């Protein structure tokens, strides 16, 4: 019985003396600012010069706007409005505003607004310092618009060329008067059979747009006398011989093990091709011949994943089982990326879907630092997302990133590491976070899990970094071995007690 008492005491130590997992905590994105129905942005600024670049080389348009803004009011102003059509604003991702002449100062804070009953909604940009009267600032505004390219025609033959159409306004959307502006478009090829030509809008002589290879230029336009919001509709139709890939959901798990010194990563994809559908049944013979000849196709053939140096033990499965058509090339030497190439079981044509998962392991010491001197604090630095790296790019409608920390970790904090240029992520106010418990085998109270959820993401975010800071005292690290030891003792005591029971048949 003394042995049984010792086991009971160990269980009591496990439940009362050791730290508990972090309590549940949820942070949602900042709620939208509701504007009155009669709201119009105050005309305290004017755009003296605006240059917009639209890049159509990937499966989603990327827009970059450089604009010189002047304060025309008599008081310092710090709130700048960026308008979008109501049907477009929910597709905008990675919106980022910086001081073009001082990008190292970081991005500006941005709020999303709601204007009931209006066809125009706004992003509200807050300058870090109010702009003095008659002063100017050069803004660098960048964003991408997901699911905004339309295949035209919507159905094509298996060997036909694919064309996409994109519509926009030759006058850049602005809440303020713009004196001079122009728009440049970059296409993936020079094959642009259809595009809108403007008449009488351009300042000076020459055709509008001007063509130089795969680049079109609309403008410059003198729009000083045009009211804000004036539109000049333009539609371009161009060849796009690649798939238009969209992940309706990406789930990414990173599991940290201090005892094993391991960082285990798993990603789960729900992928689809938003390109033109097939007008006839799929022909396997024709596809094999086209693949053998290396001809371009609007179908997805394969996916290429560059993995961090030191990545090992990759696995990849879909709804059926292991994806056998693959090639893994480990890091040739220290500091070089590993490469994983996957080929789905069938080509992914327009309208087709494919779900799969893959995972790998890394040495934790390459990503974890700590404990910080004199404390129990650890710092984990990992990529926010990784994913395939392909020329046509991938857009993510929703991404869920979960970092599973050791059992007993507490005081979890996170931040997104930003550079001097766009990292394809929205501001922190647009990322929802939660700290919960994640229970797996051999756990007692559950591991601490940080979950981040973000909408409208692109593959440009694969270069961004996630910094997670947490406290993990030494006594918390004993939770697992004490639990295992207590389990063995309990089993031993239980077997010993059962063995002491007399089950023999005796005569009465």
Tell me how many degrees the CA angle 42-48-49 measures, rounded to the nearest 5.
Answer: 125
Q: What percent of the chain has pLDDT over 70?
A: 91
Mean pLDDT on 106-113: 89
Q: How far, in Å, CA of 276 to CA of 165, rounded?
A: 11
Please tell me the predicted confidence (pLDDT) of residue 33: 80
The widest CA-to-CA distance across the chain, in whole angstroms, is: 120
d(CA 381, CA 369): 8
What's the pLDDT score for residue 7?
A: 38
Q: Which of 268, 245, 314, 306 is nearest to 457 (CA)?
A: 245
Residue 442 has pLDDT above 90, yes or no: no
**The pLDDT of residue 419 is above 80:** no
Q: Is the pLDDT of residue 4 over 50?
A: no
SS3 category, 110: strand
Q: Which residues contact 507 (CB under 8 A, 6 or more apart)?
A: none
**Cα 194 from chain centre:** 32
User: pLDDT band at residue 485, thresholds of 50, 70 and 90?
Assistant: confident
* Mean pLDDT to the nearest integer, 222-244: 93
Segment 157-202, tens digit of pLDDT: 988 999 999 999 999 999 999 999 999 999 999 999 999 998 878 8
Least confident range from 221-225, 321-325, 435-439: namely: 321-325
For the residues 452-472, what does the mean pLDDT come to?
90
What 3 state SS string does 490-504 have? HHHHHHHHHHHCCCC
Q: Of how many residues is the chain composed?
A: 508
Mean pLDDT, range 400-414, rounded to an integer: 91
pLDDT of 486: 78
Give the confidence band of 1 by pLDDT, cuts at 50, 70, 90: very low
Average pLDDT, the chain: 86
pLDDT at 328: 85
- Would the pLDDT of 14 be above 60? no
From CA 487, how far away is CA 159, in angstroms rounded? 63
Q: Give the strand pairing for 180-186 and 45-55.
A: parallel
Which pLDDT does position 13 carry in this prediction?
36
Instruction: Give residues with Cβ within 8 angstroms of 442, minimum separation 6.
Output: 480, 483, 484
pLDDT at residue number 478: 66
HSE-CB of 431 using CA atoms within 13 angstroms: 21
- The pLDDT of residue 23 is 41
The single residue listed with the structure tokens 């008492």 is 5
Bridge pairing between strands 326-329 and 338-342? antiparallel
H/E element, 83: strand 77-85
Buried/exposed 59-98: b ≥16 CB within 10 Å, e otherwise = bbbbbbbebbbbbeeeeebeebbbbbeeebbebbbbbbbb
pLDDT at 412: 93
pTM, two decimal places: 0.85
- Mean pLDDT along residues 135-143: 95
Give the tens place of pLDDT for each residue, 314-359: 999 988 877 778 888 887 766 788 889 988 888 999 999 999 999 9
> What pLDDT is stored for residue 143 in this prediction?
93
Q: Cα(52)–Cα(145) distance, rounded to whole angstroms?
A: 14
DSSP per residue, 215-232: EEEEEEEE-TTSPTT---
Of 384, 358, 349, nearest to 304 (Cα)? 358
């Amino acid at each position: 019985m003394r042995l049984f008492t010792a086991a009971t005491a160990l269980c009591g130590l496990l439940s009362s003396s050791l730290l508990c997992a972090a309590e549940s905590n949820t942070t949602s994105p900042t709620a939208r600012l509701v504007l009155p129905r009669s709201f119009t942005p105050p005309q305290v600024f004017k755009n003296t010069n605006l240059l917009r670049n639209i890049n159509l080389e990937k499966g989603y348009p990327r827009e970059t706007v450089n604009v010189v803004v002047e304060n025309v009011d008599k008081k310092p102003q710090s709130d700048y409005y960026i308008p979008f059509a109501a049907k477009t604003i929910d597709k905008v991702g990675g919106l980022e505003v910086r001081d073009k002449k001082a990008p190292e100062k970081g991005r500006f804070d941005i709020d999303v607004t709601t204007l009931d009953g209006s066809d125009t909604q706004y992003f509200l940009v807050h300058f870090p310092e109010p702009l003095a009267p008659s002063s100017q600032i050069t803004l660098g505004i960048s964003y991408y618009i997901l699911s905004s390219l339309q295949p035209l025609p919507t159905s094509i033959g298996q060997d036909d060329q694919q064309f996409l159409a994109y519509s926009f306004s030759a006058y850049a959307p602005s809440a303020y008067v713009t004196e001079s502006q122009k728009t440049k478009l970059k296409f993936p090829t020079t094959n642009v059979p259809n595009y809108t030509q403007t008449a009488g809008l351009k300042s000076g002589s020459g055709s509008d747009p001007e063509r130089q290879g795969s680049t079109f230029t609309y403008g410059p336009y003198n729009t000083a006398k045009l009211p804000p919001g004036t539109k000049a509709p333009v539609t371009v139709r161009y060849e796009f011989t690649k798939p238009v890939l969209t992940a309706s959901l990406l789930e990414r798990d990173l599991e940290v093990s201090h005892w094993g010194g391991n960082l285990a990563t798993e990603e789960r994809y729900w992928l689809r091709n938003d390109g033109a559908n097939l007008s006839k049944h799929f022909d396997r013979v024709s596809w094999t011949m086209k693949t053998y000849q290396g001809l371009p196709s609007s179908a997805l053939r394969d996916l290429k994943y560059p993995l961090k140096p030191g990545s090992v033990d990759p696995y990849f499965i879909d709804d059926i089982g292991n994806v056998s058509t693959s090639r893994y090339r480990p890091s040739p030497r220290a500091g070089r990326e590993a490469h994983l190439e996957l080929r789905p079981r069938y080509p992914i044509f327009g309208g087709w879907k494919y779900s799969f998962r893959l995972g790998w392991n890394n040495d934790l010491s390459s990503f974890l630092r700590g404990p910080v001197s004199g404390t129990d604090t650890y710092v984990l630095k990992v990529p926010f997302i990784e994913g395939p790296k392909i020329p046509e790019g991938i857009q993510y409608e929703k991404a869920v990133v979960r970092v599973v920390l050791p059992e007993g970790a507490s005081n979890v904090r996170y931040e997104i590491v930003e550079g001097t240029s766009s990292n394809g992520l929205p501001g922190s106010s647009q990322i929802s976070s939660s700290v919960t418990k994640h229970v797996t085998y051999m756990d007692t109270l559950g591991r601490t899990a940080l979950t981040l959820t973000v909408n409208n993401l692109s593959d440009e975010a694969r270069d961004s970094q996630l910094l997670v800071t947490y406290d993990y005292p030494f006594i918390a690290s004993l939770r697992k071995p004490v639990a295992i030891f207590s389990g063995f003792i309990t089993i031993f005591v239980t077997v010993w007690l059962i063995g002491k029971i007399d089950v023999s048949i005796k005569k009465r």
